[in-house]
Structure 1
Amino acid sequence: MPSDPVSRLVDRYAGLGEQRVWSLLVSVFGDLAQSEGAEIDGPVLSMILGAMKVKPEAARVALHRLRKDGWILSRRIGRIRRHSLSPIARRDSLAASRRIYATPEGVPAGWQVIVLEDQAQPTGFVRIADRVYLGAAALKPPETALVLGGADVPTWLRSALTVEPLKKQYQALNKVLAETQSAIEAVDLAPLDRAVLRCLIVHNWRRLILKHVDLPRDLYADDWLEHDCRARVADLLSRIERPDLSEITAP
Protein backbone atom coordinates (compact mmCIF):
# COMPACT_ATOMS: atom_id res chain seq x y z
CA MET A 1 0.00 0.00 0.00
CA PRO A 2 1.17 3.57 -0.58
CA SER A 3 2.13 5.79 2.34
CA ASP A 4 -0.57 7.98 3.91
CA PRO A 5 0.49 11.22 2.15
CA VAL A 6 0.55 9.44 -1.22
CA SER A 7 -2.81 7.78 -0.55
CA ARG A 8 -4.34 11.22 0.03
CA LEU A 9 -2.79 12.47 -3.20
CA VAL A 10 -4.24 9.49 -5.08
CA ASP A 11 -7.69 10.69 -4.01
CA ARG A 12 -6.90 14.25 -5.08
CA TYR A 13 -5.82 13.14 -8.56
CA ALA A 14 -8.88 10.89 -8.85
CA GLY A 15 -11.01 13.96 -8.11
CA LEU A 16 -9.73 15.60 -11.30
CA GLY A 17 -11.82 13.16 -13.34
CA GLU A 18 -11.19 11.11 -16.50
CA GLN A 19 -9.28 8.40 -14.62
CA ARG A 20 -10.21 5.64 -17.07
CA VAL A 21 -8.31 2.48 -16.17
CA TRP A 22 -7.14 1.68 -19.70
CA SER A 23 -5.81 5.24 -20.00
CA LEU A 24 -4.08 4.95 -16.63
CA LEU A 25 -2.39 1.81 -17.93
CA VAL A 26 -1.17 3.71 -20.98
CA SER A 27 0.42 6.24 -18.62
CA VAL A 28 1.95 3.52 -16.43
CA PHE A 29 3.65 1.79 -19.33
CA GLY A 30 4.55 5.08 -21.01
CA ASP A 31 6.43 6.29 -17.94
CA LEU A 32 7.76 3.10 -16.36
CA ALA A 33 8.28 0.71 -19.28
CA GLN A 34 8.71 2.70 -22.48
CA SER A 35 12.19 1.56 -23.44
CA GLU A 36 12.63 -1.37 -25.80
CA GLY A 37 12.61 -4.68 -23.93
CA ALA A 38 11.09 -3.18 -20.77
CA GLU A 39 8.40 -5.29 -19.10
CA ILE A 40 6.23 -5.08 -16.00
CA ASP A 41 5.52 -8.27 -14.07
CA GLY A 42 1.84 -8.93 -13.41
CA PRO A 43 2.17 -8.81 -9.58
CA VAL A 44 4.05 -5.49 -9.77
CA LEU A 45 1.46 -4.01 -12.12
CA SER A 46 -1.29 -5.17 -9.74
CA MET A 47 0.46 -3.46 -6.82
CA ILE A 48 0.81 -0.18 -8.72
CA LEU A 49 -2.82 -0.16 -9.85
CA GLY A 50 -4.01 -1.29 -6.41
CA ALA A 51 -2.13 1.63 -4.85
CA MET A 52 -4.04 3.87 -7.26
CA LYS A 53 -7.23 2.31 -5.83
CA VAL A 54 -8.13 0.57 -9.09
CA LYS A 55 -10.27 -2.52 -8.51
CA PRO A 56 -8.67 -5.82 -9.71
CA GLU A 57 -11.59 -6.62 -12.04
CA ALA A 58 -11.39 -3.19 -13.67
CA ALA A 59 -7.64 -3.65 -14.14
CA ARG A 60 -8.14 -7.06 -15.79
CA VAL A 61 -10.77 -5.69 -18.17
CA ALA A 62 -8.58 -2.72 -19.13
CA LEU A 63 -5.51 -4.89 -19.68
CA HIS A 64 -7.56 -7.27 -21.86
CA ARG A 65 -8.78 -4.32 -23.91
CA LEU A 66 -5.26 -3.01 -24.50
CA ARG A 67 -4.04 -6.48 -25.50
CA LYS A 68 -6.97 -6.82 -27.91
CA ASP A 69 -6.18 -3.38 -29.38
CA GLY A 70 -2.57 -4.40 -29.95
CA TRP A 71 -1.21 -1.88 -27.45
CA ILE A 72 0.04 -4.33 -24.81
CA LEU A 73 1.87 -7.64 -25.33
CA SER A 74 1.84 -10.31 -22.62
CA ARG A 75 3.87 -13.47 -22.13
CA ARG A 76 3.99 -16.06 -19.39
CA ILE A 77 7.20 -16.89 -17.55
CA GLY A 78 6.42 -19.76 -15.19
CA ARG A 79 3.45 -18.63 -13.11
CA ILE A 80 3.97 -14.92 -13.82
CA ARG A 81 2.74 -12.87 -16.76
CA ARG A 82 4.98 -10.10 -18.03
CA HIS A 83 3.52 -7.18 -19.96
CA SER A 84 5.14 -4.74 -22.38
CA LEU A 85 4.28 -2.13 -24.98
CA SER A 86 3.84 -3.39 -28.52
CA PRO A 87 6.19 -1.87 -31.17
CA ILE A 88 3.38 0.39 -32.44
CA ALA A 89 2.48 1.48 -28.90
CA ARG A 90 6.13 2.22 -28.13
CA ARG A 91 6.41 4.34 -31.29
CA ASP A 92 3.29 6.34 -30.41
CA SER A 93 4.34 6.66 -26.78
CA LEU A 94 7.75 8.01 -27.75
CA ALA A 95 6.13 10.54 -30.10
CA ALA A 96 3.79 11.78 -27.36
CA SER A 97 6.66 11.95 -24.85
CA ARG A 98 8.22 14.85 -26.73
CA ARG A 99 5.38 17.04 -25.51
CA ILE A 100 4.61 15.32 -22.22
CA TYR A 101 8.16 15.53 -20.86
CA ALA A 102 9.18 18.83 -22.46
CA THR A 103 10.59 21.30 -19.95
CA PRO A 104 9.45 24.95 -19.80
CA GLU A 105 12.58 25.84 -21.79
CA GLY A 106 11.31 23.62 -24.60
CA VAL A 107 8.06 25.54 -25.08
CA PRO A 108 7.93 27.36 -28.43
CA ALA A 109 8.47 31.10 -28.45
CA GLY A 110 7.07 33.46 -31.06
CA TRP A 111 4.15 32.88 -33.38
CA GLN A 112 3.02 33.26 -36.98
CA VAL A 113 -0.21 33.54 -38.93
CA ILE A 114 -0.53 31.83 -42.30
CA VAL A 115 -3.13 32.17 -45.04
CA LEU A 116 -3.70 29.13 -47.29
CA GLU A 117 -5.22 28.71 -50.71
CA ASP A 118 -7.44 25.85 -49.47
CA GLN A 119 -9.06 24.69 -46.21
CA ALA A 120 -6.63 21.86 -45.37
CA GLN A 121 -5.40 22.44 -41.81
CA PRO A 122 -1.61 22.00 -41.46
CA THR A 123 -0.23 20.01 -38.54
CA GLY A 124 0.53 22.03 -35.41
CA PHE A 125 -1.55 25.04 -36.43
CA VAL A 126 -4.95 26.13 -35.09
CA ARG A 127 -7.68 27.63 -37.28
CA ILE A 128 -8.74 31.20 -36.45
CA ALA A 129 -10.73 32.00 -39.64
CA ASP A 130 -11.41 30.52 -43.07
CA ARG A 131 -8.03 29.51 -44.54
CA VAL A 132 -6.26 31.42 -41.75
CA TYR A 133 -4.20 29.48 -39.19
CA LEU A 134 -1.97 30.32 -36.26
CA GLY A 135 1.03 28.42 -34.93
CA ALA A 136 4.39 28.66 -33.23
CA ALA A 137 7.07 30.55 -35.16
CA ALA A 138 9.27 27.45 -35.36
CA LEU A 139 6.69 25.50 -37.38
CA LYS A 140 7.31 25.09 -41.09
CA PRO A 141 4.29 26.40 -43.03
CA PRO A 142 3.12 24.91 -46.35
CA GLU A 143 5.12 26.17 -49.31
CA THR A 144 2.16 28.02 -50.85
CA ALA A 145 1.14 29.79 -47.61
CA LEU A 146 1.18 33.53 -47.06
CA VAL A 147 3.15 33.91 -43.83
CA LEU A 148 2.70 36.83 -41.44
CA GLY A 149 4.99 37.23 -38.43
CA GLY A 150 3.28 37.70 -35.06
CA ALA A 151 4.04 40.60 -32.72
CA ASP A 152 1.59 41.99 -30.13
CA VAL A 153 -1.28 39.63 -29.32
CA PRO A 154 -4.73 41.26 -29.40
CA THR A 155 -7.01 40.53 -26.46
CA TRP A 156 -9.73 39.04 -28.67
CA LEU A 157 -7.28 36.46 -30.04
CA ARG A 158 -6.09 35.43 -26.57
CA SER A 159 -9.71 34.99 -25.50
CA ALA A 160 -10.55 32.98 -28.63
CA LEU A 161 -7.65 30.56 -28.09
CA THR A 162 -8.37 30.03 -24.38
CA VAL A 163 -10.74 27.05 -24.29
CA GLU A 164 -12.86 27.45 -21.15
CA PRO A 165 -13.25 23.76 -20.14
CA LEU A 166 -9.52 23.12 -20.58
CA LYS A 167 -8.69 26.34 -18.72
CA LYS A 168 -10.61 25.13 -15.67
CA GLN A 169 -9.00 21.70 -15.87
CA TYR A 170 -5.52 23.23 -15.96
CA GLN A 171 -6.41 25.36 -12.94
CA ALA A 172 -7.56 22.27 -11.02
CA LEU A 173 -4.49 20.28 -12.02
CA ASN A 174 -2.17 23.15 -11.06
CA LYS A 175 -3.65 23.15 -7.57
CA VAL A 176 -3.11 19.39 -7.08
CA LEU A 177 0.42 19.59 -8.48
CA ALA A 178 1.21 22.36 -5.98
CA GLU A 179 -0.17 20.16 -3.18
CA THR A 180 2.05 17.33 -4.40
CA GLN A 181 5.13 19.55 -4.31
CA SER A 182 4.37 20.46 -0.69
CA ALA A 183 3.45 16.91 0.37
CA ILE A 184 6.72 15.32 -0.75
CA GLU A 185 9.02 17.96 0.76
CA ALA A 186 9.87 15.98 3.88
CA VAL A 187 8.74 12.49 2.85
CA ASP A 188 11.00 9.57 2.01
CA LEU A 189 9.13 8.01 -0.91
CA ALA A 190 9.24 4.24 -1.27
CA PRO A 191 9.58 2.75 -4.79
CA LEU A 192 5.84 2.05 -4.94
CA ASP A 193 5.07 5.64 -3.87
CA ARG A 194 7.34 6.98 -6.61
CA ALA A 195 5.78 4.76 -9.27
CA VAL A 196 2.26 5.79 -8.28
CA LEU A 197 2.96 9.52 -8.09
CA ARG A 198 4.92 9.65 -11.34
CA CYS A 199 2.16 7.82 -13.22
CA LEU A 200 -0.63 9.97 -11.80
CA ILE A 201 1.28 13.18 -12.57
CA VAL A 202 2.04 12.05 -16.12
CA HIS A 203 -1.48 10.75 -16.69
CA ASN A 204 -3.30 13.89 -15.61
CA TRP A 205 -0.85 16.13 -17.47
CA ARG A 206 -0.97 13.95 -20.60
CA ARG A 207 -4.75 13.96 -20.85
CA LEU A 208 -4.74 17.78 -21.09
CA ILE A 209 -1.58 18.65 -23.00
CA LEU A 210 -2.38 16.30 -25.89
CA LYS A 211 -5.82 17.87 -26.45
CA HIS A 212 -4.45 21.00 -28.13
CA VAL A 213 -1.53 22.19 -30.23
CA ASP A 214 1.63 23.61 -28.70
CA LEU A 215 1.46 27.42 -28.66
CA PRO A 216 3.49 30.13 -26.87
CA ARG A 217 2.20 31.33 -23.51
CA ASP A 218 1.64 34.89 -24.77
CA LEU A 219 -1.17 33.65 -27.02
CA TYR A 220 -3.35 32.69 -24.07
CA ALA A 221 -5.24 34.58 -21.39
CA ASP A 222 -3.41 35.25 -18.11
CA ASP A 223 -5.45 32.60 -16.24
CA TRP A 224 -4.52 29.83 -18.71
CA LEU A 225 -2.21 27.74 -16.46
CA GLU A 226 -0.86 25.19 -18.93
CA HIS A 227 2.64 26.60 -18.63
CA ASP A 228 2.45 26.80 -14.83
CA CYS A 229 1.47 23.12 -14.81
CA ARG A 230 4.35 22.28 -17.13
CA ALA A 231 6.84 23.87 -14.74
CA ARG A 232 5.39 21.93 -11.79
CA VAL A 233 5.34 18.65 -13.72
CA ALA A 234 8.97 19.09 -14.77
CA ASP A 235 9.96 19.89 -11.18
CA LEU A 236 8.09 16.91 -9.71
CA LEU A 237 9.38 14.38 -12.23
CA SER A 238 12.93 15.57 -11.58
CA ARG A 239 12.44 15.10 -7.83
CA ILE A 240 10.50 11.83 -7.93
CA GLU A 241 13.01 9.42 -9.40
CA ARG A 242 11.65 6.69 -11.67
CA PRO A 243 11.88 3.49 -9.58
CA ASP A 244 13.53 0.22 -10.50
CA LEU A 245 10.47 -2.03 -10.82
CA SER A 246 12.34 -4.88 -9.15
CA GLU A 247 12.29 -2.76 -5.98
CA ILE A 248 8.48 -2.89 -5.81
CA THR A 249 7.69 -5.93 -3.70
CA ALA A 250 4.78 -7.03 -1.56
CA PRO A 251 5.08 -6.01 2.12
Structure 2
Amino acid sequence: MPTKGFDTLIAGLHGLGGQRVWSLMISLFGDLAQAPNQQIDGPVLSAIMHGLRVKPEAARVALHRLRNDDWITSQKSGRISQHSLTKRGRAESAAANPRIYADPRVTSTRWTLALTEDTAAEQAAEMEQRGFTQLTPRVFVGSLDAAAPQDVLTIPADHAPGWLRKQVAPQMQQTGYENLLTALRGLQPDLPAPEEMSAIDIAVLRCLVVHNWRRLILKHPELPASLIDTDGPAHQCHLLVADLLARYPRPELSAIKRCRSAA
Protein backbone atom coordinates (compact mmCIF):
# COMPACT_ATOMS: atom_id res chain seq x y z
CA MET A 1 0.00 0.00 0.00
CA PRO A 2 1.14 3.63 -0.46
CA THR A 3 3.38 5.10 2.21
CA LYS A 4 1.49 7.63 4.34
CA GLY A 5 2.11 11.20 3.19
CA PHE A 6 4.41 10.06 0.39
CA ASP A 7 2.54 11.88 -2.38
CA THR A 8 3.00 15.18 -0.54
CA LEU A 9 6.71 14.52 -0.06
CA ILE A 10 7.38 14.03 -3.78
CA ALA A 11 5.30 17.02 -4.90
CA GLY A 12 8.47 19.04 -5.54
CA LEU A 13 9.77 16.44 -8.00
CA HIS A 14 6.42 16.38 -9.79
CA GLY A 15 6.46 20.16 -10.06
CA LEU A 16 9.69 20.38 -12.04
CA GLY A 17 7.97 20.02 -15.40
CA GLY A 18 9.06 17.93 -18.34
CA GLN A 19 7.06 14.96 -17.10
CA ARG A 20 6.03 13.64 -20.51
CA VAL A 21 4.57 10.20 -19.95
CA TRP A 22 6.55 8.37 -22.65
CA SER A 23 9.77 9.87 -21.25
CA LEU A 24 8.79 8.87 -17.70
CA MET A 25 8.28 5.32 -18.96
CA ILE A 26 11.75 5.28 -20.51
CA SER A 27 13.19 6.31 -17.13
CA LEU A 28 11.07 3.71 -15.33
CA PHE A 29 11.91 0.76 -17.56
CA GLY A 30 15.57 1.79 -17.71
CA ASP A 31 15.77 1.77 -13.92
CA LEU A 32 13.57 -1.21 -13.04
CA ALA A 33 13.61 -3.61 -15.99
CA GLN A 34 16.72 -3.24 -18.12
CA ALA A 35 17.79 -6.89 -18.13
CA PRO A 36 16.73 -8.96 -21.20
CA ASN A 37 14.47 -11.27 -19.17
CA GLN A 38 12.73 -8.57 -17.11
CA GLN A 39 9.09 -7.78 -17.82
CA ILE A 40 6.66 -5.48 -16.05
CA ASP A 41 3.13 -6.86 -15.78
CA GLY A 42 0.34 -4.51 -16.83
CA PRO A 43 -1.20 -4.24 -13.33
CA VAL A 44 2.22 -3.49 -11.82
CA LEU A 45 2.89 -0.82 -14.44
CA SER A 46 -0.55 0.67 -13.79
CA ALA A 47 0.15 0.85 -10.05
CA ILE A 48 3.45 2.65 -10.61
CA MET A 49 1.90 5.01 -13.17
CA HIS A 50 -0.82 5.85 -10.66
CA GLY A 51 1.89 6.72 -8.14
CA LEU A 52 3.43 8.95 -10.79
CA ARG A 53 0.07 10.74 -11.23
CA VAL A 54 -0.35 9.41 -14.77
CA LYS A 55 -3.89 8.70 -15.95
CA PRO A 56 -4.57 5.27 -17.52
CA GLU A 57 -5.44 6.84 -20.89
CA ALA A 58 -2.14 8.74 -20.96
CA ALA A 59 -0.22 5.58 -20.02
CA ARG A 60 -1.84 3.64 -22.87
CA VAL A 61 -0.96 6.39 -25.37
CA ALA A 62 2.66 6.42 -24.13
CA LEU A 63 2.93 2.64 -24.41
CA HIS A 64 1.57 2.79 -27.95
CA ARG A 65 4.13 5.44 -28.91
CA LEU A 66 7.04 3.51 -27.38
CA ARG A 67 5.98 0.32 -29.15
CA ASN A 68 5.87 2.22 -32.45
CA ASP A 69 9.32 3.68 -31.69
CA ASP A 70 10.70 0.16 -31.00
CA TRP A 71 11.49 0.97 -27.37
CA ILE A 72 9.00 -1.34 -25.69
CA THR A 73 7.43 -4.62 -26.70
CA SER A 74 4.25 -6.08 -25.19
CA GLN A 75 2.83 -9.57 -25.11
CA LYS A 76 -0.05 -11.37 -23.42
CA SER A 77 0.29 -14.02 -20.72
CA GLY A 78 -3.28 -15.18 -20.21
CA ARG A 79 -5.22 -12.00 -19.53
CA ILE A 80 -2.17 -10.06 -18.30
CA SER A 81 -0.10 -7.88 -20.62
CA GLN A 82 3.64 -7.99 -20.04
CA HIS A 83 5.89 -5.14 -21.15
CA SER A 84 9.65 -5.12 -21.65
CA LEU A 85 12.36 -3.12 -23.34
CA THR A 86 13.24 -4.08 -26.88
CA LYS A 87 16.83 -4.76 -27.89
CA ARG A 88 17.10 -1.13 -28.97
CA GLY A 89 15.55 0.11 -25.72
CA ARG A 90 17.98 -1.94 -23.62
CA ALA A 91 20.96 -0.80 -25.69
CA GLU A 92 20.11 2.90 -25.43
CA SER A 93 19.29 2.61 -21.73
CA ALA A 94 22.61 0.85 -21.11
CA ALA A 95 24.45 3.55 -23.06
CA ALA A 96 23.02 6.22 -20.73
CA ASN A 97 23.80 4.29 -17.52
CA PRO A 98 27.38 5.57 -17.06
CA ARG A 99 26.11 9.16 -16.97
CA ILE A 100 22.93 8.58 -14.95
CA TYR A 101 24.41 6.32 -12.28
CA ALA A 102 27.96 7.71 -12.19
CA ASP A 103 29.69 7.99 -8.83
CA PRO A 104 30.11 11.76 -8.25
CA ARG A 105 33.42 11.10 -6.50
CA VAL A 106 35.01 9.12 -9.34
CA THR A 107 35.72 11.08 -12.51
CA SER A 108 38.76 11.79 -14.64
CA THR A 109 40.79 14.83 -13.56
CA ARG A 110 42.73 15.33 -16.82
CA TRP A 111 41.09 17.45 -19.49
CA THR A 112 41.66 19.05 -22.89
CA LEU A 113 41.54 22.65 -24.07
CA ALA A 114 40.57 22.87 -27.75
CA LEU A 115 40.87 25.82 -30.13
CA THR A 116 38.94 25.81 -33.42
CA GLU A 117 39.80 27.71 -36.60
CA ASP A 118 36.48 29.56 -36.84
CA THR A 119 33.22 30.22 -35.02
CA ALA A 120 30.89 28.42 -37.43
CA ALA A 121 27.77 26.94 -35.85
CA GLU A 122 28.46 23.64 -37.63
CA GLN A 123 31.90 23.48 -36.00
CA ALA A 124 30.42 24.11 -32.54
CA ALA A 125 27.76 21.44 -33.07
CA GLU A 126 30.40 18.89 -34.12
CA MET A 127 32.55 19.71 -31.09
CA GLU A 128 29.59 19.17 -28.76
CA GLN A 129 28.81 15.84 -30.42
CA ARG A 130 32.41 14.84 -29.76
CA GLY A 131 32.06 15.59 -26.05
CA PHE A 132 33.34 19.17 -25.80
CA THR A 133 31.73 22.09 -23.97
CA GLN A 134 31.96 25.53 -25.54
CA LEU A 135 33.66 28.16 -23.38
CA THR A 136 33.97 31.05 -25.86
CA PRO A 137 33.22 31.18 -29.63
CA ARG A 138 36.42 29.30 -30.58
CA VAL A 139 37.45 27.72 -27.27
CA PHE A 140 36.15 24.38 -25.99
CA VAL A 141 36.95 22.12 -23.04
CA GLY A 142 36.43 18.39 -22.66
CA SER A 143 37.75 15.15 -21.23
CA LEU A 144 41.19 13.94 -22.23
CA ASP A 145 39.76 11.12 -24.35
CA ALA A 146 37.35 13.37 -26.29
CA ALA A 147 38.39 13.10 -29.96
CA ALA A 148 38.66 16.53 -31.60
CA PRO A 149 38.69 16.95 -35.42
CA GLN A 150 42.16 16.91 -36.97
CA ASP A 151 42.19 20.64 -37.71
CA VAL A 152 41.52 21.59 -34.07
CA LEU A 153 44.37 22.50 -31.74
CA THR A 154 44.21 20.53 -28.48
CA ILE A 155 46.21 21.09 -25.30
CA PRO A 156 46.05 18.49 -22.50
CA ALA A 157 45.90 19.70 -18.90
CA ASP A 158 45.33 18.33 -15.40
CA HIS A 159 44.55 21.50 -13.46
CA ALA A 160 41.88 24.18 -13.85
CA PRO A 161 41.73 27.44 -11.88
CA GLY A 162 38.55 28.27 -9.99
CA TRP A 163 37.59 31.06 -12.41
CA LEU A 164 37.57 28.56 -15.28
CA ARG A 165 35.27 26.18 -13.42
CA LYS A 166 32.92 29.09 -12.71
CA GLN A 167 33.00 30.05 -16.39
CA VAL A 168 32.23 26.50 -17.57
CA ALA A 169 29.29 26.00 -15.19
CA PRO A 170 26.76 28.33 -16.94
CA GLN A 171 27.17 26.33 -20.16
CA MET A 172 25.28 23.51 -18.43
CA GLN A 173 21.56 23.40 -17.58
CA GLN A 174 22.08 25.78 -14.66
CA THR A 175 18.46 26.75 -13.93
CA GLY A 176 17.31 23.15 -14.25
CA TYR A 177 19.94 21.97 -11.78
CA GLU A 178 19.03 24.76 -9.34
CA ASN A 179 15.36 23.73 -9.44
CA LEU A 180 16.17 20.04 -9.02
CA LEU A 181 18.53 20.81 -6.13
CA THR A 182 15.76 22.73 -4.35
CA ALA A 183 13.34 19.82 -4.81
CA LEU A 184 15.85 17.21 -3.62
CA ARG A 185 16.87 19.23 -0.57
CA GLY A 186 13.21 19.72 0.34
CA LEU A 187 12.49 16.02 -0.04
CA GLN A 188 15.47 14.34 1.60
CA PRO A 189 15.04 15.19 5.31
CA ASP A 190 11.44 13.91 5.58
CA LEU A 191 11.64 10.68 3.58
CA PRO A 192 10.87 7.57 5.64
CA ALA A 193 13.50 4.87 5.98
CA PRO A 194 13.48 2.39 3.08
CA GLU A 195 12.04 -0.38 5.26
CA GLU A 196 9.10 1.89 6.11
CA MET A 197 8.20 2.50 2.45
CA SER A 198 6.26 0.31 0.06
CA ALA A 199 8.01 -1.20 -2.95
CA ILE A 200 5.69 0.78 -5.24
CA ASP A 201 6.60 4.08 -3.61
CA ILE A 202 10.32 3.29 -3.79
CA ALA A 203 9.87 2.56 -7.51
CA VAL A 204 8.02 5.88 -7.94
CA LEU A 205 10.67 7.79 -5.99
CA ARG A 206 13.51 6.29 -8.00
CA CYS A 207 11.71 6.96 -11.28
CA LEU A 208 11.19 10.65 -10.46
CA VAL A 209 14.77 11.08 -9.25
CA VAL A 210 16.28 9.26 -12.24
CA HIS A 211 13.95 10.99 -14.71
CA ASN A 212 14.62 14.54 -13.53
CA TRP A 213 18.35 13.85 -13.32
CA ARG A 214 18.47 12.10 -16.71
CA ARG A 215 16.74 14.92 -18.58
CA LEU A 216 19.45 17.33 -17.36
CA ILE A 217 22.64 15.27 -17.37
CA LEU A 218 22.17 13.91 -20.90
CA LYS A 219 21.72 17.37 -22.42
CA HIS A 220 25.38 18.34 -22.18
CA PRO A 221 28.77 16.62 -22.51
CA GLU A 222 30.39 15.07 -19.45
CA LEU A 223 32.99 17.21 -17.72
CA PRO A 224 36.15 15.85 -16.08
CA ALA A 225 36.47 16.49 -12.34
CA SER A 226 38.97 19.34 -12.74
CA LEU A 227 36.37 21.41 -14.61
CA ILE A 228 33.44 20.79 -12.25
CA ASP A 229 32.40 23.51 -9.83
CA THR A 230 31.95 21.34 -6.74
CA ASP A 231 29.91 24.06 -5.03
CA GLY A 232 27.62 24.50 -8.04
CA PRO A 233 24.08 23.10 -8.34
CA ALA A 234 24.98 20.40 -10.89
CA HIS A 235 27.52 18.69 -8.64
CA GLN A 236 25.38 19.17 -5.53
CA CYS A 237 22.47 17.53 -7.39
CA HIS A 238 24.74 14.66 -8.37
CA LEU A 239 25.68 14.05 -4.74
CA LEU A 240 22.04 14.00 -3.62
CA VAL A 241 20.89 11.80 -6.54
CA ALA A 242 23.64 9.26 -5.83
CA ASP A 243 22.78 9.29 -2.12
CA LEU A 244 19.05 8.76 -2.70
CA LEU A 245 19.52 5.94 -5.20
CA ALA A 246 21.91 4.21 -2.79
CA ARG A 247 19.59 4.68 0.21
CA TYR A 248 16.55 3.39 -1.68
CA PRO A 249 17.79 0.41 -3.71
CA ARG A 250 15.94 -0.72 -6.81
CA PRO A 251 13.02 -2.95 -5.67
CA GLU A 252 12.48 -6.35 -7.22
CA LEU A 253 9.56 -6.50 -9.63
CA SER A 254 8.18 -9.42 -7.62
CA ALA A 255 8.13 -7.22 -4.50
CA ILE A 256 6.19 -4.53 -6.35
CA LYS A 257 3.75 -7.18 -7.55
CA ARG A 258 3.20 -8.45 -3.97
CA CYS A 259 2.77 -4.90 -2.75
CA ARG A 260 0.09 -4.22 -5.35
CA SER A 261 -1.71 -7.46 -4.52
CA ALA A 262 -1.80 -6.54 -0.82
CA ALA A 263 -3.20 -3.05 -1.46
| TM-score, normalisation: structure 2 | 0.85
User: SS of the counterpart of 1:4?
Assistant: coil
- CA drift of 1:131 comes to 5.2
Map residues 133-172 of structure 1 onto 2, 5 A cutoff: 133-142=140-149, 145-150=152-157, 151-153=159-161, 155=163, 158-159=166-167, 161-163=169-171, 166-172=173-179
Q: Which residue of 1 aligns with 2:3?
A: 3
Task: Identify the match of residue 248 of structure 2 among 240, 243, 246.
Answer: 240
Q: Which residue of 2 aligns with 1:184?
A: 191
- Residues 242, 221 of structure 1: alpha-carbon distance in 2 compared, 3 angstrom cutoff: closer
CA contact (8 A) 1:40 1:84 kept: yes
Aligned partners of 2:20 and 2:232: how far apart in 1? Answer: 25
Amino acid at match of 1:204: N
Count of paired positions: 250
Out of 149-158 and 52-61, give the one that drifted further: 149-158
CA contact (8 A) 2:230 2:236 kept: no
Q: Which residue of 2 aligns with 1:123?
A: 130
| TM-score, normalisation: structure 1 | 0.89
Q: Which residue of 2 aligns with 1:102?
A: 102
Report which structure shows greater RCO (CA 8 Å, sep ≥6): 2
- CA drift of 1:177 comes to 1.6
Map residues 68-87 of structure 1 onto 2, 5 A cutoff: 68-87=68-87
Out of 10-19 and 21-30, give the one that drifted further: 10-19
- CA drift of 1:186 comes to 4.3
Amino acid at match of 1:209: I
Amino acid at match of 2:69: D
Aligned partners of 1:12 and 1:107: how far apart in 2? Answer: 29
User: SS of the counterpart of 1:26?
Assistant: helix
User: SS of the counterpart of 1:93?
Assistant: helix
In structure 2, runs of 5+ residues without a counterpart are: none
Aligned partners of 1:235 and 1:156: how far apart in 2? Answer: 28
- CA drift of 1:241 comes to 1.6
CA contact (8 A) 2:113 2:156 kept: yes
- CA drift of 1:72 comes to 0.6
User: SS of the counterpart of 2:5?
Assistant: helix
User: SS of the counterpart of 2:176?
Assistant: helix
Aligned partners of 2:93 and 2:217: how far apart in 1? Answer: 14
- CA-to-partner distance for each residue in 1:25-81, whole Å, 9 max, x for gaps? 001100000111111000000000001111111111111111111111000010000
- CA-to-partner distance for each residue in 1:144-169, whole Å, 9 max, x for gaps? 543223444474773365148x2122
Runs of 4 or more off by more than 6 Å in structure 1? Answer: none
- Identical residues among aligned pairs (%): 44
Amino acid at match of 1:74: S
User: SS of the counterpart of 1:103?
Assistant: coil
In structure 1, runs of 5+ residues without a counterpart are: none
Out of 127-136 and 50-59, give the one that drifted further: 127-136
User: SS of the counterpart of 2:76?
Assistant: strand
Amino acid at match of 2:238: R
- CA-to-partner distance for each residue in 1:188-238, whole Å, 9 max, x for gaps? 111111111111110010011011111145546676311111111111111
Aligned partners of 2:240 and 2:40: how far apart in 1? Answer: 27
CA contact (8 A) 2:130 2:148 kept: no
- CA drift of 1:5 comes to 3.3
Amino acid at match of 2:30: G
Q: Which residue of 2 aligns with 1:206?
A: 214
